[in-house]
Amino acid sequence: MKSSQGPYGINKAFDDSEQYKVTVYQPENKSDSVVYENFALDISPQQLKAAAEGPLSLHFVGDKNRCDIVVEKPVSWVFDMNLDALLKQVEKLKATQK
């Protein structure tokens, strides 16, 4: 997240039906007026599948500000496909190790 008003201090993320665990990384100052704040959301495979069905509207709340972001269906759909492919590879590896 990029801000010219200092870090948001994001500590909560949710959509209309779920709350997501947030991991926040140290904000990075690029200049006197711009701060890049990096964070990650933990999303379960079930939540990812639900997000792949349509746009996902995420709400972020921080100590100093809040914002909304829409993740369009193609983005979450590709993440879901990659997860499925990765899990199949893991199952193949497990089968060959037995």
The 10s digit of each residue's pLDDT in 39-71 is 888 888 777 777 777 788 899 999 888 889 888
Determine the structural domain holding residue 53 and report its residue range. 2-97
Phi/psi at 16 (5° precision): -70, -20
Whether this model's pTM surpasses 0.85 = no
The per-residue pLDDT for range 3-23, each reduced to its tens digit, is: 787 778 888 999 888 899 999
Q: How many domains does the chain have?
A: 1
Reported confidence tier of residue 85, pLDDT bands at 50, 70, 90: confident
